[in-house]
């Protein structure tokens, strides 16, 4: 099992390296950007960790922000923020995200939305549990908080972390399925607005310190970056592996999974009869028997390279004919006139041949 997994990983890596130049450049660029972003996020996480755990100097920023939020609460607006914050909790967030992922999987007929959503949820949950247990930081005073009160530890903010990861992965799944640039921009703006509003609501309600929310955003951004980069590399490896196997067999097919043999890349040609060699003779060489008239000749199937439907999109549709009754009657009269002229010419030619014969 281990050897099979290792060979499969090696094939995926070779597929990325052997992919077309454009895909390989995009994959390398995505990997480089993700690496730089992860290094930057790691630096932010280290700074926040030092100020929260090592010297507890984050209170110099946490307390002023907390006091400002408490001083600017509005009675009617507080109830709205409290109801909005529930959408990022452990009850409603899995329900909303799960239904969305199932709908995307059914519409696109793919397991990718479900797999990515499950991975995002598991990673976010593990980071929240491990972080709260490792640090054990107390929440802001209950006297300054808004019910319902939280009883778990404060660092990092679970609502902020889960909202960023799960909303981010759903936004990514929507973006890769939308062709309109305006639609993509709207999805990105909506996800960013929701994440910022969720983190700010935790500060407004007095359930978290500002350093808790910042650490949650850093961890969530790192995890979503890893997931998206891994998915892009997997897509590149899948396409590259399928093209490499197709080139080896000489047939044009789609992507082939690594579990399939190389000679099974979609070939549907009929097997040719084996050439039977007769006994060797010095006078006359034995001829290979071919298919007789009674035997059906093998059909050669030529597969064309996939075009992904581009010829259908780029091809201009034929002009629509006017279906007005007068236009149809005019077309019928013109067609009858042409047919009559053809019959007249044919009759003249026949009469000319008869005269020549006489």
Digit-coded pLDDT (tens) for 7-55: 655 555 555 544 456 677 777 888 889 899 999 999 888 888 888 877 6
The confidence band for 278, taking pLDDT boundaries of 50, 70 and 90, is very low
The residue that leads in pLDDT, 281 or 111, is 111
Q: Do the Cβ atoms of 51 and 214 come closer than 8 Å?
A: no
In a domain, 147, yes or no: yes
The confidence band for 358, taking pLDDT boundaries of 50, 70 and 90, is low
In a domain, 269, yes or no: no
The confidence band for 193, taking pLDDT boundaries of 50, 70 and 90, is very high
The residue that leads in pLDDT, 8 or 356, is 356
Average pLDDT, stretch 152-165? Answer: 89
As a whole-number percent, the residues of the chain with pLDDT over 70 amount to 64
The residue that leads in pLDDT, 234 or 341, is 234
In a domain, 335, yes or no: no
Average pLDDT, stretch 103-120? Answer: 92
Surface-to-core class of residue 119, CB atoms within 10 Å of its CB (0-12 exposed, 13-18 middle, 19+ buried): middle
Whether the bond between 156 and the residue before it is cis, its omega within 30 degrees of 0, is yes
Tell me: pLDDT of 302 over 70. Answer: no
Tell me: pLDDT of 254 over 80. Answer: no
The confidence band for 253, taking pLDDT boundaries of 50, 70 and 90, is very low
Q: How far apart are CA 273 and CA 265, in angstroms?
A: 21
In 3D, which of 165, 87, 85, 67 has the Cα closest to residue 125?
Answer: 165
- C-alpha angle 5/219/46, rounded to 5°? 110
Average pLDDT, stretch 134-162? Answer: 85
Name the pTM for this structure: 0.61
The residue that leads in pLDDT, 12 or 63, is 63
pLDDT at 216: 92
In a domain, 115, yes or no: yes
Q: How far apart are CA 238 and CA 18, in angstroms?
A: 11
User: How many separate domains does the chain show?
Assistant: 1
Containing domain of residue 96, as a range? 2-237
The confidence band for 296, taking pLDDT boundaries of 50, 70 and 90, is low
In a domain, 296, yes or no: no
In 3D, which of 145, 122, 154 has the Cα closest to residue 52?
Answer: 154
The residue that leads in pLDDT, 103 or 260, is 103
pLDDT at 317: 62
In a domain, 291, yes or no: no
As a whole-number percent, the residues of the chain with pLDDT over 90 amount to 25
pLDDT at 103: 93
Q: Which of 198-212, 283-297, 333-347 is predicted with the least confidence, judged by mean pLDDT?
A: 283-297
Q: How far apart are CA 106 and CA 113, in angstroms?
A: 9
The confidence band for 225, taking pLDDT boundaries of 50, 70 and 90, is very high
pLDDT digits (tens, 9 = 90+) for 258-273: 333 334 334 444 444 4
pLDDT at 49: 86
Q: How far apart are CA 294 and CA 35, in angstroms?
A: 66
- C-alpha angle 335/341/346, rounded to 5°? 125
pLDDT at 214: 92
In a domain, 126, yes or no: yes
Mean pLDDT of the chain: 75
Tell me: pLDDT of 286 over 80. Answer: no
Tell me: pLDDT of 91 over 50. Answer: yes
Average pLDDT, stretch 282-302? Answer: 52
In a domain, 333, yes or no: no
């Amino acid at each position: 099992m281990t050897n099979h997994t290792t060979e499969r990983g090696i094939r995926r890596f070779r597929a990325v390296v052997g992919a077309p130049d454009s895909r390989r450049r995009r994959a390398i660029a995505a990997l480089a950007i993700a690496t730089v972003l992860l290094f930057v996020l790691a630096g932010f996480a280290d700074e926040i960790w030092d100020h929260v755990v090592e010297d507890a100097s984050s209170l110099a920023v946490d307390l002023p922000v907390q006091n400002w939020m408490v001083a600017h609460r509005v009675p009617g607006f507080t109830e709205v923020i409290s109801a909005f914050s529930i959408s990022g909790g452990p009850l409603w967030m899995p329900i909303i995200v799960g239904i969305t992922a199932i709908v995307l999987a059914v519409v696109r007929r793919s397991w990718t939305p479900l797999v990515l959503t499950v991975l995002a949820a598991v990673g976010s949950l593990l980071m929240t549990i491990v972080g709260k247990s490792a640090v054990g930081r107390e929440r802001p005073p209950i006297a300054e908080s808004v019910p319902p009160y939280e009883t778990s530890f404060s660092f990092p903010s679970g609502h902020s972390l889960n909202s960023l990861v799960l909303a981010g992965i759903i936004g990514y799944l929507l973006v890769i399925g939308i062709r309109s640039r305006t639609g993509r921009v709207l999805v990105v703006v909506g996800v960013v607005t929701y994440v910022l509003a969720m983190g700010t609501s935790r500060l407004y309600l007095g359930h978290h310190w500002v350093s808790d929310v910042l650490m949650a955003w850093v961890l969530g951004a790192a995890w979503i970056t890893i997931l998206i980069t891994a998915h892009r590399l997997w897509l590149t490896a899948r396409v590259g592996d399928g093209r490499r196997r197709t080139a080896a067999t000489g047939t044009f097919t789609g992507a082939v999974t690594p579990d399939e043999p190389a000679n099974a890349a979609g070939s549907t040609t009929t097997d040719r009869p084996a050439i039977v060699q007769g006994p060797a003779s010095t006078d006359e060489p034995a001829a290979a028997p071919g298919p007789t008239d009674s035997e059906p000749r093998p059909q050669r199937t030529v597969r064309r390279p996939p075009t992904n439907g581009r010829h259908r999109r780029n091809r201009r549709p034929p002009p629509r004919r006017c279906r007005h009754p007068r236009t149809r009657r005019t077309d019928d009269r013109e067609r009858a006139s042409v047919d009559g002229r053809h019959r007249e010419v044919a009759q003249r030619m026949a009469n000319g041949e008869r005269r020549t014969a006489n």
